[in-house]
Structure 1
Amino acid sequence: MRSTTSRRALWAALAGLSAVLPLQAADLSITQFRVRGPAGGNDEFVELQNTGSAPLDVSGYKLNASNASGTTGTRFTLPAGTTVAPGCFLLLANGASSGYSGSVTPDLKYSTGVTDDGGLAMLDASGTIIDQVGLSAGSAYKLGTPLASLGSANQDQGYGRKTDGSGLPQSTGNNAADWVKVAPTAPRSSASPCAVMGLSLSIADATVSVRNADDQQMPFTVTLSQPAQADVSVHAVTADDTATVAAGDYDAVDTTLTIPAGSTSTTVNVTVHGAKAAGPDKAFRVNLSNATGGDVRIAKSSAIGAILNEIPIAAEIWQITGRGQVSPLVGKRVATHGNVVTAVGPAGFTMQTPDNRADDDRLTSNGIYVFTSSAPTVKTGDLVDVEATVDNYFNLPELKNASITTTMHGARLPKPVVFGNNVPSSDPNALSCGDTNFQCYVGMRVSIDNGMITTGNLRFSNEPFAEVYVTANGKRSLREPGVRYTVPVPDGVNLPNWSGNPQVFKMNTADFGAVAPNTPFNAGTTFRAEGVISYAFGAYTFIPTSFTIKKAATLPRAVDPRPFYAVRVGAFNTERFCDTEFNTTFTCSGGDTEPTADQVKLKTERLSAYIGGVLKLPDILSVEEVKSLQVLQGLAKQLGDDYPVQYEAFLQPGHDPSGINVGFLVRTDRVRVLDVRQLGADETWQDQGQTAFVHDHPPLLLTAEVPSIVGRMRINVIAVHPKARQNVDKTGTTAERDRQKRFLQAKSLATQVQALQTDRKNRLAPLLVVGDFNAYQFTDGFTDVVGLISGKYDDSQNLLKLGTNIVKPTLWNAVDSVPTQDRYSFLFTENFGNIQGQAPRQVPTHQVLDHALLNTIARGLFLQMKYGRGNLDAPVQTLDDAAKATGVQKAMGSSDHDGFVVDMLALPTILL
């Protein structure tokens, strides 16, 4: 084991070997761009120009973007066959919602925006950056001093590149000097007039790779934009940069070149001297001046000569990987010996330092992936020597262009890192790898004894059943108390931040053959596995080499049958159960059109399968997000056709601009409805200066009599669906408005609940407030909707202050009776940004949005609360396939919520 001190000393020595990878100039330039426009943040474009003298094939070129933290990603890859004529333009624009609004039709569209303070780059088909511009110092893409961000104002403003004396885009290597603000913008496309390209000279960059002490010739090509009628001459002279003549790196050249009449190019050769040992890459320049012959100008006067030292550096794997996502030896040729092959995939393998040579620093990885592009010949347990080039693939070190020698078979595999309760860390302030949670394990063996799959398979490309999200501690990724991770805790709020579940990661079971491709997995399945940590498209990923299911979760999972002596009350968000008629301000469907009659019929059948087969036919069911009484009556009829029951539908329209409402389905073969009425439907508030209704979906009160052990029992059930919380954790006037509206809705309902509790004829009746509360069972730090309605609001934990609680005695949330790991009714994927040193991190969060609040009488009769599982835990493909299934299988995918039921002992009202 090497000491930390000796390792750091070696790193210091290697620091001088960082690769010189100069920006080799190209004919394609970014000439104008906008990252925000009149329509908002997606109203953006990027204008490109071919400044060369010949058509330019840009097939496979990439438009990349960076945020202010240096996280990069590809926004668009130019399709095959894309060319740009000399002097002509190509316009790329954002085609996402509220995207590019300009009058010039773009040539190509992308769909993911660029941040206001980020940066842009164009990469050629090999991934080399050919032009870049930044809007902040933190952007990964910039040259020299970056430009200033133009802020978040929705205006027609952007940046345009200056032109030099010859009319070509200016490129001094300093963004601040080369660009100027333009307002309004004037983008040009392939249909716009092309710039006239006159007679001009350019010199191209050149590169040589040094692998030994031999001299080499480095040819620089000097090109005329078109043949001239007379000879053209130009003076060429070399100039030192990091490579110098005095150090013996190359021989100076000072000469005059001539391009004969009718020709278009000539070459100047520079002798580059070899090297005997590994060392830094170096560069020098060749400059042109004094062009004569005809009306000729110099368009590109300077070229870079890159001397790449590719003599392998002897290094251990941990020296190659380093502490960060980018290797300190990126771009260098390395030789690493005597490492153990730990996993073999279809296009590469992982290898790891043997335990007796392993680094002693938890912040570095002893494993690395070797990309072979085709099936490797090595096997797990082989001891190998590898000479390869260090690459940075999706911000992760790997080895490519490898020469591999197997020196032994059957070597002992390194001990795996044990993932479990404490590793990876669940504390974002004490991540397992320092600044990240997984980086120091990438390429290394890992064992998981108590894993849990927390989502069904996602789809990827042509794989219907691809990756899943997992934890190694046997727990679901639940939303827990606290203000959302990354959101500052508001002043006056006594709460911590919630962790954001940094311990969650992806698993691709099939990549190394541990499981057959396209194997479906349901969330809740537990497993035992060994494998390696990898990195796929910006996300840390576990790839097992062995995999055993401990307990498979089955779907759908119905609730228990209703006890014969009980009354069953439930709630179910039906996810935009719409009719075919577009007669509201916005489409009920949330898309561009309302569903067809066949789609409504299929939705009705799937909801019936869920209510009957999974929720086991509640006596009273609150239903949310229903368009009309007619479609709810259609569901009641479908239930009667599918099961030996009789349901009646109740719905009263509210004020939602898309027409979704709350309602009830009541089993009239068991329940006698006494009254159904809305609560607070006409209440108003001042919504940004306009009088508006407080409730989009006014709470709906059902009063009924249900069968009891002897006689009947009176019961009150309130169906609720307050405003969604999508803006609650944000800042600005929209967030403030949404928080205030949710607060007023909860306060209004609390007042109605208290009036019902103190009403003489109802004070002995069980009361249940059920539905999709669009709120957690605890406060989010802004407005505790559930706490306010139940009489448990704590001003010290909320931004909006209530003062005195309204509801007394308090209501009890039956969710508290559900086992902790089963407390979820909705699955929300949260983007927590660059919290682990990787691409913006998508984390599936299981959260309770659907609750049952019980008054004292109802709690005394309470038997159980159960969620019916059929929508949240299944693979995406399974949910789609279920539409063609029969029986209870058809229930899966009927909604984006899982519904619940509450069973209560039924006693005659006279005994209460």
Structure 2
Amino acid sequence: MASQSVTRLAALTVATACSAASLVVLGPPAHADSVRIHDIQGTTRISPYAGRQVADVPGIVTGVRDQGSSRGFWFQDPRPDADPATSEGVFVFTSSAPQVAVGDAVTVSGTVSEFVPGGTASGNQSLTEITRPTVTVVSHGNPVPAPVVVSARSVPRAYAPAGDADAGGSVNALPLRPGRYALDYYESLEGMNVQVADARVVGASDPYTELWVTVRPGENASPRGGTVYGSYEAQNTGRLQVQTLGEPAGFPAADVGDTLAGATTGPLDYNQFGGYTLVARTLGTLTAGGLARETTREQRRDELSVATYNVENLDPSDGTFAAHAEAIVRNLRSPDIVSLEEIQDDNGAVDDGTVTAGVTVGKLIDAIVAAGGPRYDWRSVDPLDKADGGEPGGNIRQAFLFDPRRVSFTDRPGGDAVTATGVVKARGKAALTHSPGRIDPANPAWRNSRKPLAGEFAFRGRTVFVIANHFASKGGDQGLTSAYQPPARSSETQRHLQATAVNTFVKEILAVEKNADVIALGDINDFEFSGTTRRLEAGGALWSAVRSLPPGERYSYVYQGNSQVLDQILVSPSIRRGGHLSYDSVHINAEFHDQISDHDPQVLRYRP
């Protein structure tokens, strides 16, 4: 996550700077006797005055942002029109700390701009701004226009209109229908003073002083207070990001299920990392929901327990080893086999050609012993330097931990970064040619991405094939609040190829041994209802066991207030048919502000 943090801050700075530098004047000034804020905002997402100068536009300042790279203020017309599609507020981009205060009556002259956070390639909607402003303060201490209350009643259930096919799926030119679509409703309030009351937290506070709330707490609710993303048609309209105009030190440390009691009030912004965002002048009081980290049950003597856990760029310099060990021992109850994702090399992000990870894994194993767990053994395959993506210099890979008191590993040497493991018949059963080994590492599907790690285990005399995966990330996908509806998911093209490669390998095992026990697991970076999962399951070779859980409990990750599945454990037909399968998504990270990873581990137990 560290590399993502740097990228995020850099992107915000560059995008904001570009918005100020690329403006042109296309026409003469439009004066205040004919132009007010609602005229500038218009009835679509694009201002009819974009690129034009406006003069002496009146309003009351409702919020001031005097820190960061996007400095400016919001102001709002106290004399609204009668059209619900036209916003009465707009952001004024000053680039330096603005010399106004909340409650000032001002007139603003400048150029109307449509700024796309993240750049046009992101697919994000644009934010209407007045840039290069000249601001005149007319008076001080005026009442701020009353906030529009955003509530379960006011937000439509339908999420967004279908984009105009003739415009590449864009919704920009479509007339806003705020009574019909949630995204149109939020757009009709862009820049205005809004309020949510007693809003439940559905996305924990993050290092950027952000959290997510919902104004529709009953919408696809999880038993733990979150909002579950269960299909591409259930985007969850009640979600809003919340930031603050106050000091970051005063931002609440909130977990999912907490509540911002009372009123949270401020301008409605649109940004690159969350879409529509309430930038609060006043925050509600945090009321704890009492969410506790989960603990799964211990496996029985005749049950094999297999877990997947993304430990988020773990390297020897991290201070999280004891916490991860405690999670594995206490919360996961020391699984027999643990597939670890995002194990970094022995010096982390130092880019000096190091690819070994014995120090990293050894430090975790020692911490597990210190926490009262077993002394795990481990297997992995070192990647080629800088070939598998992830944090530059980190050389992340998957690794198996296994408890040698309970399971044994079948070593067949020869597997390395570029050598593919295969499937042969030995004594009438399937066997790997290399264990541990990589699946088809030369396949273009794995370009700049982690290659699957396959291993052959034995439990109580039964062979179990385990395939550890970390598929390509969702980077580059358009967001749910995109200007293109439905949004494009370009990153899934590579994951589809990866899923097909894994599915083909599993079918090779099953072609040799029809009833072989095969488990494919890891950070799939895609949903249980996705095309990626369908390709993994193709032909009945695998089945995603997260579907054995009730729909409200199917999640391992929280993104923009949506609790969703990214981590999965898929099993072959023999395991599913056995009838003794138990699955648990163990919620210890994703819902909490003090998480040690952004993923929740998954545990499967079954009797071979």
What is the TM-score normalised by the length of structure 1?
A: 0.44
Which residue number in structure 2 is paired with residue 376 of structure 1? 101
Which residue number in structure 1 is paired with residue 194 of structure 2? 446
In the alignment, structure 1 residue 389 sits paired with structure 2 residue 109: yes
Q: How far does residue 648 in structure 1 lie from its aligned partner after superposition?
A: 2.8
Which residue number in structure 2 is paired with residue 869 of structure 1? 588
SS at 1:332's partner residue? strand
Map residues 97-246 of structure 1 onto 2, 5 A cutoff: none
Which residue number in structure 2 is paired with residue 824 of structure 1? 555
Q: How far does residue 507 in structure 1 lie from its aligned partner after superposition?
A: 1.5
2:527 maps to amino acid? Y
Which of 442, 450, 454 does residue 699 from structure 1 map onto? 454
Deviations 1:185-228 (A, max 9, x none): xxxxxxxxxxxxxxxxxxxxxxxxxxxxxxxxxxxxxxxxxxxx
SS at 1:313's partner residue? coil
In the alignment, structure 1 residue 815 sits paired with structure 2 residue 517: no
Which residue number in structure 2 is paired with residue 745 of structure 1? 502
Q: From the superposition, tell whether residues 436 and 391 of structure 1 become closer, same or farther in structure 2 (CA, over 3 Å).
A: farther
Which residue number in structure 1 is paired with residue 294 of structure 2? 558
Which residue number in structure 2 is paired with residue 647 of structure 1? 375
Q: How far does residue 747 in structure 1 lie from its aligned partner after superposition?
A: 1.2
Q: How far does residue 714 in structure 1 lie from its aligned partner after superposition?
A: 5.5
Map residues 26-425 of structure 1 onto 2, 5 A cutoff: 74=14, 281=28, 312-313=32-33, 317-323=37-43, 324-326=45-47, 328=49, 331-334=53-56, 350-351=75-76, 353=78, 358-368=80-90, 373-374=98-99, 376=101, 378=103, 387-389=107-109, 392=112, 394=115, 395-397=127-129, 401-405=135-139, 413=146, 416-418=149-151, 422-423=155-156
In the alignment, structure 1 residue 776 sits paired with structure 2 residue 527: yes
Q: Which runs of 5+ in 2 are unaligned?
A: 1-10, 67-71, 116-126, 164-175, 221-225, 344-355, 389-394, 413-420, 424-431, 479-487
Q: How far does residue 349 in structure 1 lie from its aligned partner after superposition?
A: 6.4
CA distance in 1 between partners of 2:73 and 2:493 (Å): 52
Which of 598, 616, 622 does residue 333 from structure 2 map onto? 616
CA distance in 1 between partners of 2:227 and 2:588 (Å): 16
CA distance in 2 between partners of 1:777 and 1:439 (Å): 31
CA distance in 2 between partners of 1:424 and 1:618 (Å): 42
1:442 maps to amino acid? E
Q: Is the 8 A contact 2:264 2:284 kept in 1?
A: yes
Which of 254, 262, 265 does residue 521 from structure 1 map onto? 254
Q: Is the 8 A contact 1:679 1:700 kept in 2?
A: no
Deviations 1:368-422 (A, max 9, x none): 56899346373xxxxx86544366475534686233347987x994653435684
Q: From the superposition, tell whether residues 756 and 543 of structure 1 become closer, same or farther in structure 2 (CA, over 3 Å).
A: same
Q: From the superposition, tell whether residues 751 and 548 of structure 1 become closer, same or farther in structure 2 (CA, over 3 Å).
A: farther
Q: From the superposition, tell whether residues 695 and 679 of structure 1 become closer, same or farther in structure 2 (CA, over 3 Å).
A: farther
Which residue number in structure 2 is paired with residue 112 of structure 1? none
Structure with higher helix content: 2
1:771 maps to amino acid? G
Q: From the superposition, tell whether residues 470 and 605 of structure 1 become closer, same or farther in structure 2 (CA, over 3 Å).
A: same
Q: Is the 8 A contact 1:335 1:388 kept in 2?
A: yes
In the alignment, structure 1 residue 599 sits paired with structure 2 residue 317: yes
Q: How far does residue 542 in structure 1 lie from its aligned partner after superposition?
A: 0.6
Provide the alpha-carbon RMSD of the alignment: 5.2
Percent same amino acid among aligned pairs? 15
Q: How far does residue 547 in structure 1 lie from its aligned partner after superposition?
A: 1.7
CA distance in 1 between partners of 2:74 and 2:398 (Å): 55
CA distance in 2 between partners of 1:535 and 1:396 (Å): 10
Q: From the superposition, tell whether residues 424 and 701 of structure 1 become closer, same or farther in structure 2 (CA, over 3 Å).
A: same
Q: Is the 8 A contact 2:149 2:196 kept in 1?
A: no
Structure with higher strand content: 1
Q: Is the 8 A contact 1:332 1:390 kept in 2?
A: yes
Q: How far does residue 364 in structure 1 lie from its aligned partner after superposition?
A: 0.1
Q: Is the 8 A contact 1:611 1:617 kept in 2?
A: yes
1:416 maps to amino acid? V
CA distance in 1 between partners of 2:251 and 2:591 (Å): 17
SS at 2:325's partner residue? helix
Q: From the superposition, tell whether residues 897 and 408 of structure 1 become closer, same or farther in structure 2 (CA, over 3 Å).
A: closer
1:642 maps to amino acid? A
CA distance in 1 between partners of 2:48 and 2:520 (Å): 57
Q: From the superposition, tell whether residues 860 and 477 of structure 1 become closer, same or farther in structure 2 (CA, over 3 Å).
A: same
Q: Which has more radius of gyration? A: 1
Q: From the superposition, tell whether residues 318 and 624 of structure 1 become closer, same or farther in structure 2 (CA, over 3 Å).
A: closer
How many equivalent pairs are there? Answer: 494
CA distance in 2 between partners of 1:821 and 1:628 (Å): 37
Q: Is the 8 A contact 1:469 1:504 kept in 2?
A: yes
1:621 maps to amino acid? V
Q: How far does residue 815 in structure 1 lie from its aligned partner after superposition?
A: 0.8
2:137 maps to amino acid? S
CA distance in 1 between partners of 2:324 and 2:214 (Å): 31
CA distance in 2 between partners of 1:522 and 1:749 (Å): 39
Which of 485, 506, 526 does residue 241 from structure 2 map onto? 506
Which residue number in structure 1 is paired with residue 427 of structure 2? none
SS at 1:389's partner residue? strand
Which residue number in structure 1 is paired with residue 571 of structure 2? 853
Which residue number in structure 2 is paired with residue 898 of structure 1? 600
Q: Is the 8 A contact 2:271 2:277 kept in 1?
A: no
CA distance in 2 between partners of 1:901 and 1:864 (Å): 6
CA distance in 2 between partners of 1:861 and 1:519 (Å): 43
Which residue number in structure 2 is paired with residue 535 of structure 1? 269
Q: Is the 8 A contact 1:662 1:720 kept in 2?
A: yes
What is the TM-score normalised by the length of structure 2?
A: 0.63
Q: Is the 8 A contact 2:341 2:522 kept in 1?
A: yes
Which residue number in structure 1 is paired with residue 284 of structure 2? 547
SS at 2:136's partner residue? strand
Q: How far does residue 773 in structure 1 lie from its aligned partner after superposition?
A: 3.8
Deviations 1:298-330 (A, max 9, x none): xxxxxxxxxx787x5276653454335547496
Q: From the superposition, tell whether residues 621 and 420 of structure 1 become closer, same or farther in structure 2 (CA, over 3 Å).
A: farther
Q: How far does residue 703 in structure 1 lie from its aligned partner after superposition?
A: 1.7
Q: From the superposition, tell whether residues 750 and 697 of structure 1 become closer, same or farther in structure 2 (CA, over 3 Å).
A: same
Q: Is the 8 A contact 2:270 2:277 kept in 1?
A: yes
CA distance in 2 between partners of 1:403 and 1:660 (Å): 55
SS at 2:151's partner residue? strand
Q: How far does residue 516 in structure 1 lie from its aligned partner after superposition?
A: 6.6
Q: Is the 8 A contact 1:663 1:700 kept in 2?
A: no
Q: Which runs of 5+ in 1 are unaligned?
A: 1-64, 66-71, 78-120, 133-139, 144-279, 282-307, 379-383, 460-464, 483-497, 578-594, 706-712, 760-765, 794-804, 830-842, 879-891
Q: How far does residue 702 in structure 1 lie from its aligned partner after superposition?
A: 1.7
Map residues 450-465 of structure 1 onto 2, 5 A cutoff: 451-459=199-207, 465=208
Deviations 1:758-794 (A, max 9, x none): 36xxxxxx765433345432332xxx4x44554xx2x
Which residue number in structure 2 is paired with residue 168 of structure 1? none
Flag the structure with more relative contact order, 1 or 2, with Cα contacts below 8 A and sequence separation at least 6: 2
Q: From the superposition, tell whether residues 735 and 788 of structure 1 become closer, same or farther in structure 2 (CA, over 3 Å).
A: closer
Q: From the superposition, tell whether residues 367 and 738 of structure 1 become closer, same or farther in structure 2 (CA, over 3 Å).
A: closer
1:531 maps to amino acid? T
Q: How far does residue 662 in structure 1 lie from its aligned partner after superposition?
A: 4.4
Q: Is the 8 A contact 1:525 1:550 kept in 2?
A: yes
Q: How far does residue 436 in structure 1 lie from its aligned partner after superposition?
A: 5.3
Q: Is the 8 A contact 1:628 1:660 kept in 2?
A: no
